[in-house]
Structure 1
Amino acid sequence: MEGINIFGFGIALIMTVALMPVFIPLLKRMKFGQSIREEGPQSHLKKTGTPTMGGLVFLISIIVTVLLVAAFNGELTTPVVILLIVLFGYGLIGFLDDFIKVVLKRNLGLTSLQKLLAQIVIAVLSFFLLRANGFDTALGIPFTEVSIELGWVYVLFIVFWLVGFSNAVNLTDGLDGLVAGTASIAFAAFGILAIVQQETGIALFTFAVAGGLIGFLVFNKYPAKVFMGDTGSLALGGALAMVSILLKQELLLLLIGLVFVIETASVILQVGSFKLRKKRIFKMSPIHHHFELSGWSEWKVVTVFWGVGFISAAIAVLLEVM
């Protein structure tokens, strides 16, 4: 089992590293450059024009790797197919959003309603695929034997979980290498849990994602040569949520993905405080911008957040397997 995971990790990593030098010049020639919001940190304005939609490369690498390795090893199971559907589906939503913003020059991309409806459709489709295969609809409480049976209400949970975490990862994608690092840690943590549960196909998927992200990080670390765009971040968030569901470790994602939770909470608190009190809690949200405006270098913010993500994921895995 470990050999398959290493193989999947390696293939996805090598494919991403090999394809990216071809893809980045192509994006530049097609003028697929990132537009930086003027209301963001002024130091980010120098990033204007950096190629975006780089998530396409690691998504292609991951999907090809998982399909080939899983098929060869007889692991192209329903859970693996569902993971690929979610990864591709949310990636497609992100791609359309990026395409409209970058190519069609409509700065807001898809409307919030269009994006939400598409995310809900994929989440509901996933639920019915799970239901058709007798999936357990009980919600487990981490570190206990307690579970709560949700029945058909579980579809609402899946919608909330996939939509919530796809947007949480999207919000986190604001600094060079931040999501690539934190997401690779989170997927690797779930990969370890998948190995413990002997879920070979899910483990393969998680380590292939981690490999693709490490390969992408070579080009996305500060100063980034390419951004993943919504194409990558929405796909990663949706897939991460679905992995937690398939492993019946749904709520453990709150700890393994703590950085994403904190980033999202900072936005909610900031908006709520301003609407209710006309005062801001942070200098800017998401919270990574607050630390930037407090004098931290971008690289310091990213490495500290990686550290928080690693520690929280390690704690979650250790407590779960003990």
Structure 2
Amino acid sequence: MKVTIFSAVVAFLIVLLLGPIVIPALRRFKFGQSIREEGPKSHQVKAGTPTMGGVMFIISLLITSIVVYQNITGPLAVALITTVGYGIIGLLDDSLKIIRRKNLGLRAYQKLIGQVTFALILTVFAYNNIGSDIHIPFTSSFIDLGWFYIPFMVFVIVGATNSVNLTDGLDGLASGVTLIICVFFAVVTFGLGKGDLSVFCGAIAGALLGFLKYNSYPAKVFMGDTGSLALGGAISALAVLLKMPFILLIVGLVYVIEVLSVIIQVTSFKLTGKRVFKMSPIHHHFEYIGWHETKIVSMFCIITAICCLIGFLAISF
């Protein structure tokens, strides 16, 4: 556990040091966020806020992993590849948004191709090295998915990654929720004796804690798709490598609610012409009914903390 805590401290300090360097550079190169015109009016003042801040915790994660756990092979290596790979997809998406000066980057199919590619790398590694069985929550049982493991896990990874991306809509929301989930996985990986993945979790948690100094309300920088997709990749990698995709549904309930709100909204509008929520994802709905950003973020973080406690109960092996 000492090594995990040390990795968190190192990552935290690196992000704190990168902030005064990266944020002014992003502002200087006019890497500012474009805001959806149909979004809450209160968000229009955020237009131009530096984005792509996710590069800070990606760099921190890489440096920390190399410094603390020099033998980067196996699960740690594939977890880093997945995280950085999804981060690169997000970086390309953010770059196109900046170039076009619109909240429109890569086309959906282009992002999907990249996401499926890195999901396959992670899934095939897991299939060949740790098996095709997954844990059933609240039991000590595992179920072997056989050949179905690969398409199932690819679906989980892509779905989870995009859910994290949808959650990144308020200052400190995605970073705060994911920080709590990473602490959960840090404890789990330590308990299972997986020191490399424990360092990975500690590094992400520490980096996000440092990032919150700049990303909490009012945000001085946004993580952008660079950061949200990278975080989605990291969380997905942990769920796959620990054989816990169903546990991710529990601890990541906020992610699930966010993506379901979009699905419900779109489906309802196409079938009936009516909207269920004032706006989706659901965090914007709460804004429209008068909740302040900080209240919404606090509520979602509390829900995540409670879900993580339930997650500990669900792991009984």
1:67 CA drift (Å):
2.1
1:104 CA drift (Å):
4.5
Aligned residues: 317
**Counterpart AA for 1:62:** L
Aligned to 1:280: 275
1:69 CA drift (Å):
1.0
**Counterpart AA for 2:143:** I
TM-score (norm 1): 0.96
Distance 1:148 1:229 in 2: 37
Please tell me the root mean square deviation across aligned C-alpha atoms, in Å: 1.3
1:157 CA drift (Å):
1.5
The 10-residue stretch of structure 1 (172-181 or 137-146) with the greater mean CA deviation from structure 2 = 137-146
**Counterpart AA for 2:225:** D
Structure 2: gaps spanning 5 or more residues: none
Aligned to 1:88: 84
C-alpha contact 1:16 1:212 (8 A) present in aligned 2: yes
- Pair 1:163 & 2:166 matched: no
2:216 paired residue among 217, 221, 246: 221
1:150 CA drift (Å):
1.4
> Given the superposition, is the C-alpha separation of residues 56 and 312 from structure 1 closer, same or farther in structure 2, using an over 3 Å criterion?
same
Distance 1:121 1:248 in 2: 20
Distance 2:284 2:314 in 1: 32
**Counterpart AA for 1:157:** F
Distance 1:92 1:279 in 2: 37
Distance 2:314 2:122 in 1: 29
Aligned pairs for 1:1-322 (under 5 A) are 2-71=1-70, 74=71, 76-105=72-101, 107-133=103-129, 135-321=130-316
**Deviation digits for residues 91-122 of structure 1, max 9, x if unmatched?**
00000000111134354111000000010011
C-alpha contact 1:166 1:237 (8 A) present in aligned 2: yes
1:319 CA drift (Å):
3.8
Distance 1:107 1:299 in 2: 24
C-alpha contact 1:259 1:308 (8 A) present in aligned 2: yes
C-alpha contact 1:77 1:201 (8 A) present in aligned 2: no
C-alpha contact 2:126 2:240 (8 A) present in aligned 1: no
**What SS class does the counterpart of residue 252 from structure 1 fall into?**
helix
**Deviation digits for residues 175-224 of structure 1, max 9, x if unmatched?**
00001100000111011111111111111101110000000000000000
Distance 2:202 2:310 in 1: 19
Distance 2:100 2:277 in 1: 33
TM-score (norm 2): 0.97
Distance 2:295 2:123 in 1: 40
The 10-residue stretch of structure 1 (276-285 or 110-119) with the greater mean CA deviation from structure 2 = 276-285
Sequence identity percentage: 49
**Deviation digits for residues 23-46 of structure 1, max 9, x if unmatched?**
111111100000101100011000
C-alpha contact 2:35 2:103 (8 A) present in aligned 1: no
The structure 1 segments of at least 4 consecutive aligned residues displaced by more than 6 Å after TM superposition are none
**What SS class does the counterpart of residue 315 from structure 2 fall into?**
helix
Distance 1:110 1:319 in 2: 38
Structure 1: gaps spanning 5 or more residues: none
